[in-house]
Amino acid sequence: MKNKEKIAGYFIYIILITGLAVCIAILLPQVRQMIIELVEQKMLHRKTSLYEDWFQVLLSYAIGGILFIIFLGYCLLTASGKTLVHKVKNEILDSLAEIDLHTLTKPILIMSGIYLLGLISLIRANFLYKDDITRSAGGGAGGWYDWSRYVSMVLHVFIHGDNNITDISPLPQLLAIPILALCSVLLVYTLNNKKITIPGLFASIPLGLSPYILECLSYKYDAAYMALSVFASIVPFLFLSRKKAFVFCSIISLLVMCMTYQVSSGIYLLIVLILCFNDWNSKRKTNREIILFLGRAILSFCIAMGIFKFFLMRPYNTYVSNAMLPFPHLISGLYTNFLRYMNFINSDFGFIWKILIGIIFCFFIAKFVFISERNKIVSLLAAVVLLCLLLVISYGVYLALDHPLFQPRAMYGFGALLAIIGIYNVYEFKNIAKIFVLALSWSFVVFAFSYGNALADQIRYGNFRATVLLQDLSALYPDKDKAENKISIQLKNTIGFTHAVKNIAKHNPVIYRLVPGVLTDDDYLFSVFYLMEYFNYAPFSTANLMRTDTPVDYNTLGLPVILKTYYHTIRSDGKRVLVELNEGTK
């Protein structure tokens, strides 16, 4: 036995020393440069600006690797470290042993059925959503690396069975459904004192079917990983009763969240806040216990965010940026971002949704005061403060970014907030509160049906308009065999939306931000690339695909009109082509 332990110890020493030597070697500029050149030559076969920041990224990886090896050595080779590992392991096993898995099976099946029902029209639409068009045509997982989503990069190899990704839909979306179902069940389990009720499950529907998360689920390649990020934000709360296990699982889970989809960063804090305020309000725990739990949770969050920020995150600055707000402008920047966040929600949601949400918020405050063991006036003020904090935190760390993303997929923290408040309202409270919560959940299910059908209708119309345009272009430029005959194309205007989309927008304006325009002058992924690659149209030059990369705006050249139809006008000088799209009748 002792010999085995010695051999294992020597093996650990060898692994750690080797890893430490590699990380120290990477600290040398010459070694980093050699690695970059090797990757570009052997893997990329060309130099590209996409990897121009590798030099600093490798430096961060090396420093992070050294710190990780030191920590790993402490845990595996020292007596105190081994004791800590043993305690954390036992606490995790004890927490898992307390969960009755049989009680979770039926709720997971129920929620899987609801989410499948809500997403069936989306799956049936078979819509290549934005990034999907480039991935289906060219494969590769560059987008995941760009955004430091390393877990997604690893998992896609197993799901696709190859490093080259192909369109295997609806498998990723079908995988996302049980993951979101499990998220809903665990959320109810956490917030309802380990009790799972049918009203609580129905109240959790906005977590997986809010209009904002529908955009995430529209991506054929990303849906499962985005759902996994939500799960990673909730799973640490299974270990609430064990301090060390909670901290450890929080850090690991939050890192997984950051390396799948960082938008979920607010969900963890939402749950922490609601648990703390609820314990304070009901006097289930002392103030000291609440503060200690809050401190452990915030510390875990800060450690995970710090590790990701300094050692794992790649800088990214294109249409959005992952750079933090400058410290002198932090307060004003947070305020500006929050106002924009609220303005988007206000403009996206229809009148009925806003009325239901307002009533649900009022019930939340009313229940908080009604069940309070504290002074009622103090409870009322605390409820209002809590609601404001929840609204702020629902946007997650994006609130602190210098140039954050405000696309619907970046705002699904608001759907998680609605789910959390809904679950809180329906648990041991008035039936009338349940009616309004369930009404909101049902309206989101109905909208999901409408959204999927709207995508199908929009792509039908987009394919028709693309076909008409390509027929005209192929007649005007029939010779595609010679390089000198290639043309460059720019689009102007947009084909607009179908009447089905416009009808939905009368009461739910968010549909305009969810449904891509397919052919438009400001969306590269669903315009020129879609037009050329999807329909296999060859006689064009890739040099001028994106307007932002084109030195000249063709709209300023006064190109002569060579063809005018009901749907579009084509201007060209033989090499440069400007297509002016018409929306048609309103």
Q: What is the 3-state secondary structure (H, E, C) of 302-341?
A: HHHHHHHHHHHCCCCECCCECCECCHHHHHHHHHHHHHHH
What pLDDT is recorded for position 250? 97
Residues comprising the chain, all counted: 586
> How many CB atoms are closer than 10 A to CB 459?
21
Q: Is the distance from CB of 475 to CB of 515 less than 8 angstroms? A: no
Q: Binning pLDDT at 50, 70 and 90, where does residue 312 land?
A: confident
Residue tagged 């314990």 (tokens): 279
Q: Please, are residues 407 and 215 in contact by the beta-carbon 8 Å criterion?
A: yes
Query: What is the C-alpha to C-alpha distance for residues 195 and 522, in angstroms, rounded to an integer?
Result: 49
Sheet of 576-581, strands arranged across: 488-492, 576-581, 568-572, 561-564
Average pLDDT of 329-358? 96
- In 108-232, the DSSP E strands lie at none
| 558: helix, strand or coil | coil
8 A C-beta contact, residue 89 and residue 416 = no
pLDDT in tens, 371-398: 999 999 999 999 999 999 999 999 999 9
Find out whether 160 and 220 touch, Cβ atoms under 8 Å.
Answer: no
pLDDT attached to residue 12: 81
Examine the pLDDT at 72 and tell me if it is beyond 70: yes
- How far apart (Å, rounded) are the C-alpha atoms in residues 60 and 458? 44
Among the residue ranges 277-291, 387-401, 515-529, the one predicted with the least confidence is: 515-529
Decide if 435 contacts 377 (C-beta within 8 A): no
Chain centroid to Cα 365, Å, comes to 30
pLDDT 10s digits, 560-582:
999 999 999 999 988 888 999 99
Chain-centroid distance, C-alpha 205:
18
pLDDT of residue 526: 65
Q: What is the pLDDT of residue 135?
A: 82
pTM above threshold 0.95: no
Highest mean pLDDT of the ranges 353-357, 516-520, 542-546, 575-579: 353-357
Q: What was the pLDDT predicted at 485?
A: 63
Query: In this structure, are residues 262 and 396 in contact, taking their beta carbons and an 8 Å threshold?
Result: yes
Per-residue pLDDT at 545 = 44
What was the pLDDT predicted at 481?
Answer: 57
Residue 446 predicted with pLDDT over 80: yes
Given this model, what pLDDT does residue 211 score? 97
State residue 551's pLDDT score. Answer: 62
- Residue 43: pLDDT band (50, 70, 90) is low
- Phi first, then psi: what are they for 561, rounded to 5°? -75, 125
Structure tokens at 100: 């009755």
At residue 45, the pLDDT reads 45
Token duo for residue 231 = 């799960």
Task: Decide which of 11 and 543 is more confident.
Answer: 11
Quick: pLDDT tens for 524-558: 556 777 777 778 776 554 444 444 444 678 888 88
C-alpha to C-alpha distances, 466 to 102, 128, 254, 479, 582, nearest whole angstrom: 52, 15, 43, 19, 12
Q: Are 323 and 401 in contact (CB under 8 A)?
A: yes
Is 16's pLDDT higher than 50? Answer: yes
